[in-house]
Amino acid sequence: MTSITPAFQMTETTHMGKVALKVANLEKMRDFYVDTIGLSILEQTENTIALGTQAHVLLELQKITHPLPLTRKTGLFHVAFLLPSRKDLGNSLLHYIETKAPLDGASDHGYSEALYLTDPEGNGIEVYRDKPRTEWDIRADGEIVGITIEMDAQGVVDAADRQRSQFPEGTTIGHVHLKVADLQKTEDFYTQVLGLNLTSNFGAQAKFFAAGDYHHHLGSNIWLGQHTPPMEENDLGLAYYSFVVLDEAALSELKAHLTSLSVSFKTEAAQTISLYDPNGILIKIVAEK
C-alpha cells in the first residue's frame, strides 16, 4: 500500500462519537435497537430518541415526516458497535439466536470478530469485538490487513457468561462504514482535509481510514457503483455521524487547518463544528472537554 502521510493529522486520541439516523417509524426502530440489538434508552422526546449505554449516547433516532422511498444513494453502509470483550460478543450472539434477530452473517476479519444485522428500515449494523493487537496483521508501511473468513461461532459462544441484558458500559461506536460516490475524492478528503490515515486500500472498491493506529474508524465503498447520488433531506438513513477530539485546542487546530484549505464548515456550538464530505454526508466534530 502506497500512501502519503498528510501534513495535518488527527491525533490518535480521536475516536467515533455517535450516529444519527433519520427514521420513519420511531417506536419500531426504538424497540428494535433496545430489545434486539442491546442499547438502552437515555432520553426520549416526541420526535427524537437517544440510545446508548448508561451516560454515553451512541445512536440517535430522528423521526422525519414524508420520507422518500428507499433508493440507491450515498450514506450508511453500517454502524459498528464495538463491545469490550469476546465474552460480550458471545452474550450478544446467544441473544440474537434466541430472539431470532435478523442476522446476516458472522465474520473473522483478522483484527476482529463481527456479527452483521439489518434494522427494520434497512440500515446495516455490525456488532464486534477487537482481537488483541498482537494478532493484527500490521505491515511495515503501516497497512493493517483485514480478511473475511468464517467466524469461530462456537468459540465466541463458549466465551459467553450468559449474563447479558443490554450492551455493557464500555461499548462504543468502533467505526462507521459509508456508501460513497467517488473513492478517490473520499480518500483525498479524509486524509488531506480531516487528517486520517489510509490504513487499508482495496483499490477500486473500498478504502479504510483511521486516526492513530486503529485498524479503521471509517470504511468507504462504491459497491453501489460510481457516482451514486447523495442523500436528500427526507431520505431515510444516515443524518450524520461524529468524531470526538480530545479538547477545544484540538478542535481549534482542525478549524485553522480547514480554514487554510478554504473548506467550509459551520460552528454549531463552542465545542462542535460540522461539515460535509464529498459524498454529501454530514460530519460533526466534537471536543470532548
- pLDDT tens for each residue of 179-222: 999 999 999 999 999 999 999 998 789 999 999 999 999 999 99
Which alpha helices (DSSP H) does the chain contain, by range? 26-31, 86-98, 153-158, 183-188, 248-260
Instruction: Determine the pLDDT at residue 5.
Output: 54
Is pLDDT at 4 greater than 60 in this prediction? Answer: no
The predicted structure's pLDDT at residue 6: 60
Q: What is the mean pLDDT of residues 255-263?
A: 96
| Closest listed residue to residue 113, CA positions, set 143, 158, 153, 170 | 153
Average pLDDT, the chain: 94
Phi-psi region of 239 (alpha: psi -120 to 50; beta: other; left: phi over 0): alpha
Q: What is the largest CA-CA distance in the chain?
A: 54
Mean pLDDT of 118-140: 97
According to the model, what pLDDT value does residue 163 have?
Answer: 87
What does the pLDDT read at residue 269?
Answer: 82
pLDDT digits (tens, 9 = 90+) for 165-176: 799 999 999 999
In terms of C-beta density within 10 A (0-12 exposed, 13-18 middle, 19 or more buried), how is residue 22 classed? Answer: buried
Give the separation between CA 81 and CA 88, rounded to whole angstroms: 11
Hey, what domains does the chain have and what are their CATH numbers? 15-287 (3.10.180.10)
Gyration radius of the chain's alpha carbons? 18
Average pLDDT over residues 233-260: 96
CA–centroid distance for 257 within its chain: 24
Contact 10, 236 (CB under 8 A): no
Quote the pLDDT of residue 1. 54
Amino acid type, 68: L
Mean pLDDT over 114-138 rounds to 97
Specify the pairing of strand 15-23 against strand 237-245: antiparallel
Residue 102's nearest CA partner among 118, 80, 78 is 118
Q: How confident is the model at residue 80 (pLDDT cuts 50, 70, 90)?
A: very high
Q: Could you tell me how far CA 34 lies from the centroid of its own chain?
A: 18
Answer whether residue 7 shows pLDDT above 80: no
pLDDT digits (tens, 9 = 90+) for 15-41: 999 999 999 999 999 999 999 999 999
Percent of the chain surpassing pLDDT 90: 86
Q: Supply the pTM of this predicted model.
A: 0.95
Q: CA distances (Å), 115 to each of 158, 170, 222, in order?
A: 16, 18, 22
Please give the helix or strand (H or E) that residue 203 lies within, else none: none
Q: What's the pLDDT at 226?
A: 75
Please give the Cα distance from 180 to 162 (Å, whole number).
39
Read off the pLDDT of residues 45-63 as tens digits, 9 standing for 90 and up.
Answer: 999 999 999 879 999 999 9
pLDDT in tens, 136-161: 999 999 899 999 999 999 999 999 99
The SS3 assignment for 47 reads coil
Q: Please give the single-letter amino acid code of residue 133.
A: R
- How far is CA 227 from each of CA 207, 222, 253, rounded to the nearest angstrom? 16, 8, 32
| Model pLDDT, residue 42 | 97
pLDDT in tens, 223-243: 887 778 998 899 999 999 999
What does the pLDDT read at residue 71?
79
